[in-house]
Amino acid sequence: MIPKLPILDDVDLGKLKVLVRVDFNVPLDSEGRILDTSRIRAHVATVRKLLEAGCAVVLMSHQGRPGEEGFTQLKPHSEILSNYLGIDVRFVEDVMGPAAVSEIKKLSSGEVLLLDNVRFVSEELVEAPPEVHARSFLVRRLAPLFDLYVFDAFATAHRSQPSIVGFPLVLKSVIGYVMRSEVEALRRIVNSDYSPRVFVLGGAKVADTLKIVENLSKNRLADRILTTGLVALVFHAARGGKVSEYVLKVLEDRGLITMVPRARRILLGGAPVDVPLDYVVVKNDGTVDECPASAIVGVPMDIGTYTMQMYSELMKDAKLIVMRGPAGYLEDPRFRAGSESLISSALRSSAFLVIGGGHLGALVGDSAGERTHVSTGGGALLMALAGEELPAIRALRESARKFFNWSDS
């Protein structure tokens, strides 16, 4: 169940000093230039609302992971946000040291400050329960400087780190507009009024996807689960009968053959799983061809024409469609048609469409309308679809009990 959580509009925001956890974790090129600004743009409505109410707004985000490329400072992010907001977003090269504290104290109504990458603080790299993180140095040092905490970083909601779960236990907390639309989309997914419900699951994260299928099946959340990508190959093998040696080779090469018994148990449990009828393959001589699933003669790279038609037909009357993971190898334009066709079929239906960010979100582009929700979350969406409570939601639920006296949360 997704609890009711207080949102920005539930509090009198007049001139508060507000800490907002955003997710500005964006892809960067080798020179550190931002390649996609959509995650920054997503938070503009929340920040604007706070500024219009006269708040002094301090933003906190991570960028990348220590030791990996893309683990950098947030100065370029502040410049992008300045452009979107049309006002100067100050940046301080510090998270909780004297420079940050002094800037936070100086910040006036209607001003915005972005702190540096919160993962520069070692505590932020530790996964621990909210009660532990509420006592972290980061939280004890910064919380007294604020009147309100706003959580807007859905894409981090599966992490149990101090900036995500620590502040809600010690500060009055609400969710921002990004988080609100993500929570609403999750509610629709578990709401039986939206029926029939069709899930289209592909991509390369097979273990995560099997967990989702298990949850959907156990809780009867899906009327159809249309599989594509590697997970579909696992289900082909799990169904038995004649399985192409190419399929088995892909599964062996990717270390996925061990997933087959689990997929078989899912099928035997009665999960409504469909597999593709045909595939676009690359043959041994390098040519590209289409062949039926029962006679695959090459490495499968995308779903074929019959599958596109069948899946389109199965989506036609859906009231909710959830899509996660591409149907083919999108990096190569020859193998994009499957994903593109699934998206346009879903958009043609009258269903509310939830798209699991990343690659598919980019394919939707500007065609996303009122009835489409492109999630900002990767791991967070997977965890929610797999039926697990997100640590951020747990902490916010506790916070609502404590600061709003919301017993039904």
Region near ligand 3PG per CB under 6 A, out of 154-162, 193-201, 237-245, 327-335:
154-162
Chain centre distance of CA 177:
15
Number of neighbours of residue 355 by Cβ within 10 angstroms: 26
Binding mask 255-274 for ligand 3PG (x = CB under 6 A): --------------------
| Minimal distance, residue 77 CB to ligand 3PG, in Å | 13
Total site size for ligand 3PG, rule CB under 6 A: 8
- Nearer Cβ to ligand 3PG, position 21 or 159? 159
Q: Which long-range contacts (CB under 8 A, 24 or more apart) does 337-341 make?
A: 337/280, 337/302, 337/308, 338/228, 338/280, 338/302, 338/303, 338/304, 338/307, 338/308, 339/202, 339/302, 339/363, 341/308, 341/312
Please tell me whether residue 341 adopts helix, strand or coil conformation. helix
- Only one of the segments 69-77, 151-159, 273-281, 306-314 lies at the binding site for ligand 3PG (rule: CB under 6 A); that segment is 151-159
Give the contact letters, 376-395, x = binds to ligand 3PG (CB under 6 A), - = no.
--xx----------------
Neighbouring residues of 88: CB distance < 8 A, sequence distance ≥ 6: 82
Ranges within 359-378 binding ligand 3PG (CB under 6 A) = 378
Which CB sits closer to ligand 3PG, 25 or 163? 25
Tell me what percent of the chain is helix, strand and coil, each rounded to the nearest 5: 45, 15, 40
Q: Which ranges of 280-321 would DSSP assign to H, the alpha helix?
A: 305-315
Q: Of all residues in this chain, which one has the CB nearest to ligand 3PG in the complex?
A: 25
CB of 251 to ligand 3PG, least distance (A): 26
Taking contact as CB under 6 A, which single stretch among the options 13-21, 49-57, 152-160, 303-311 is the one that binds ligand 3PG? 152-160
Q: What is the gyration radius of the CA atoms in the chain, in angstroms?
A: 23
Calpha distance 310→315 (Å, rounded): 9
Beta-bridged to residue 409, according to DSSP, are none
Residues between 116 and 145 with contacts to ligand 3PG, criterion CB under 6 A: none
Whose Cβ is closer to ligand 3PG: residue 70's or residue 292's? 70
**Binder to ligand 3PG among 25, 217, 339, 341 (CB under 6 A)?**
25
Tell which one of 43, 133, 159, 172 touches ligand 3PG (CB under 6 A): 159
Are the C-beta atoms of 28 and 159 separated by less than 8 Å?
no
State the Cα–Cα distance between residues 125 and 322, nearest whole angstrom: 31
| Span of 71-79, 155-163, 239-247, 266-274 interacting with ligand 3PG by CB under 6 A | 155-163
Q: Which is nearer to ligand 3PG, 276 or 377 (CB)?
A: 377
Cβ proximity to ligand 3PG: between 65 and 348 the closer is 65
Residue 65 engages ligand 3PG in binding (rule: CB under 6 A): yes
**Residue from 156, 163, 209, 349 binding ligand 3PG (CB under 6 A):** 156
Q: Give the number of residues written for the chain.
A: 409
Using CB under 6 A as the binding rule, whether residue 23 contacts ligand 3PG is answered as yes
**Closer residue to ligand 3PG in complex, CB, 23/208:** 23
Query: What torsion, rounded to 10 degrees, do the Cα atoms 14, 20, 23, 25 define?
Result: 120
The dihedral region occupied by 36, where left means phi > 0, alpha psi between -120 and 50, and beta the remainder, is beta
Residue 359 near residue 370 (C-beta atoms within 8 A)? no
Distances (CA, A) of 397 to 169, 204, 404: 10, 33, 10
Confirm or reject binding of residue 13 to ligand 3PG (CB under 6 A). no
Which pair of structure tokens corresponds to residue 288?
Answer: 């590209």
Q: Which stretch binds ligand 3PG (CB under 6 A): 42-50, 153-161, 262-270, 348-356?
A: 153-161
Q: Which residues of this chain interact with ligand 3PG, rule CB under 6 A? A: 23, 25, 65, 155-156, 159, 378-379
